[in-house]
Amino acid sequence: MLIIGHRGCSYKGYNQNTIRSYKKVIEEGAKAFEFDVQLTKDKKLVVVHNLNLTKVSNGTGLVSTKTLKEIKELNAGKIENGKDEIPTLEEVLDLVSSYPKEKRVVMHLELKGDNTGLISGNIIKKYIDEGFLQIDDFLISSFNWVELDLIRTICPQINIALLEGSIRRKQLLPLLNSNEEIFSKIFSYGEEDYMLPISDDFETSKKVVENEVKDENDLKILIEEIHNALNGKYYTQKLIQTALEKNAVSLNLWYKTVDKDFIEEVHKNGLKVFLFTVNEKADIDRLKILKPDGIFTDYYMQTKNYYLENK
């Protein structure tokens, strides 16, 4: 099973999605790490997870409203974990290409936000065309499957993965009477385009919605959506068929909501399954039943050692 460093690592003294965190897991022997790219106001690609900078830097506001110069003035993550710039995509590619092929990791690059596919594709193509990297150094993923189609117009052979398991803001909002500010009160990543229930326990999430939402129409819709998300209703034959039509190599799914039967069905169709984000020992133990092809984890070495000792 492939163990993937999620945003590099989240060890004490390390900020995620930074050059130092990627170097750390590479030196620990990781075969892959994951990171997220977003566009700045001046159309540069930076490596940062949240759309809003507040929780992932010492800055505030949306990444898309800042220039690259403004982003570079911030510290990635918490100052107490070290002084780290928010890297550009090119800086991450420079790091990986500096290693010999036998030590090079596969980059699981997630496209976040609109218009990231084409620009990422052009940058990646340049590195491949100039011989610094190879096509198999990448697996491109996104919840926004249009962006996967777009990057394929630049790099037709690049491997892609469909991300699924999150509640889609743009599909949900038109059904509601409430404005989108309600999402930050009832979902994790409530300011993002792709949100998660605030708890993986349905009754807990339901109670939060009931406390915050007064409109009966909205209450019904939101509770149903959370129920669907937590009970694996997003994991359908149609999802598998879409992945096959797009010639994807994997489905990247939320480990808390997927079951063994669906993973087996995905495997029968020749696709891989990577699960996000597995950190707890009890959840690692559950992998014996689920049998995914790989997992994303914030604690690469700890997870690797526990898995090898208990598989």
Other beta carbons within 10 Å of 298: 18
Alpha helices of the chain — where are they, by DSSP H?
19-27, 68-72, 89-97, 116-129, 145-154, 169-172, 183-186, 202-212, 216-230, 237-245, 260-268, 281-290, 300-310
| Residue type for position 111 | L
CA distance 298 to 164: 19
Separation in Å, CA 20 to CA 37, 80, 82, 228: 17, 14, 9, 38
The DSSP code sequence of 205-243 is HHHHHHHH---HHHHHHHHHHHHHHHTTTT--HHHHHHH
- As a whole number of Å, the end-to-end CA separation of the chain is 10
Other beta carbons within 10 Å of 266: 22
Burial of 46 (0-12, 13-18, 19+ CB in 10 A): buried
Length of the chain: 311
CA distance 166 to 143: 8
Catalytic residues: 6, 49
5 forms beta bridges with 33, 297
Coil, strand or helix at 303: helix
